[in-house]
């Protein structure tokens, strides 16, 4: 989806409540009509990237009070990329990535509309050599990306190739438990919560 196609779909404004200044973004109207406020098993009929996921908002709120100025940051499975936008607003050099190329033009538009600078890239976790070549990154971000257990192995294989620190937000999906259990074999993992969302910080010393 290019910028012309973005202009042709129905977009609605959305204000994301954050510490300090709120963030204003545009979102596809069909995604806005299906807010992420149901049970953890809930999945939308619209493309996943079009929904404002509560895990993404929680991770963005963590970033809003963190010091990220000057860091090289990559977000995996960015969707609407609220964490990426907040990291860019904090002075980070940001690359927002998603497996669905249709998500990226809207990320770029929302960045421009907020006076922010970031890059985007389509990335398949199983074919991420080009992304790895752009690293290493100081911080890797991901929110609500563990929908299926198959993603656990993919993510654990990719993360060490990207950087030594990861912040991952998850609302309690079953695959997240398996991810954390396996991640602890290689990473130092700490867990916290914001807005009932688990925030996992992984570090390799």
Domain with residue 84: its CATH number is: 3.40.50.150
Q: What is the mean pLDDT of the chain?
A: 93
Token reading at 94: 């940001």
Residues 2-22: tens digit of each pLDDT: 554 666 679 999 999 999 999
Write down the pLDDT at residue 8: 64
CA distance 66 to 63: 5
Check residue 68 and give its pLDDT.
98
Q: Which regions in the chain score pLDDT beneath 70?
A: 1-8, 38, 40-45
10 Å CB burial of residue 118 (0-12, 13-18, 19+) is buried
Question: Over pLDDT 90: what percentage of the chain?
Answer: 83
Output the six-digit token pair for 65: 């009070």
pTM above the 0.85 mark? yes
pLDDT of residue 4: 47
pLDDT of residue 163: 98
Domain that holds residue 145: 3-203
Total domain count, the chain: 1
Q: What is the DSSP string of 17-36?
A: --SSS-EEEEEEHHHHTS-S
Kindly report the three-state secondary structure assignment for every residue of 104-158. Answer: HHHHHHHHHHCCCCCEEEECCHHHCHHHHHCCCECEEEEECCCCCCHHHHHHHHH
């Amino acid at each position: 989806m290019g910028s012309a196609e973005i202009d042709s779909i129905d977009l609605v404004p959305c204000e994301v409540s954050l510490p300090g200044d709120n963030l204003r973004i545009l979102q596809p109207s069909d995604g806005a009509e299906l807010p992420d406020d149901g049970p953890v098993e809930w999945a939308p009929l619209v493309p996943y990237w079009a929904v404002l996921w509560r895990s993404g908002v929680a991770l963005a709120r963590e970033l809003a009070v963190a010091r990220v100025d000057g860091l090289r940051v990559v977000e995996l499975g960015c969707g609407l990329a609220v964490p990426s936008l907040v990291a860019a607003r904090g002075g980070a050099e940001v690359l927002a990535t998603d497996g669905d190329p249709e998500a990226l033009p809207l990320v770029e538009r929302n960045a421009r509309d907020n006076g922010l600078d970031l890059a985007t890239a389509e990335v398949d976790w199983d074919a991420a050599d080009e992304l790895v070549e752009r690293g290493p990154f100081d911080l890797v971000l991901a929110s609500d990306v563990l929908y299926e257990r198959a993603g656990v192995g993919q993510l654990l294989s990719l993360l060490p190739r990207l950087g030594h620190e990861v912040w991952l937000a998850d609302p309690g999906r079953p695959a997240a438990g398996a991810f954390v259990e396996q991640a602890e074999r290689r990473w130092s993992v700490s867990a916290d919560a914001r807005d009932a969302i688990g925030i996992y910080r992984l570090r390799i010393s």
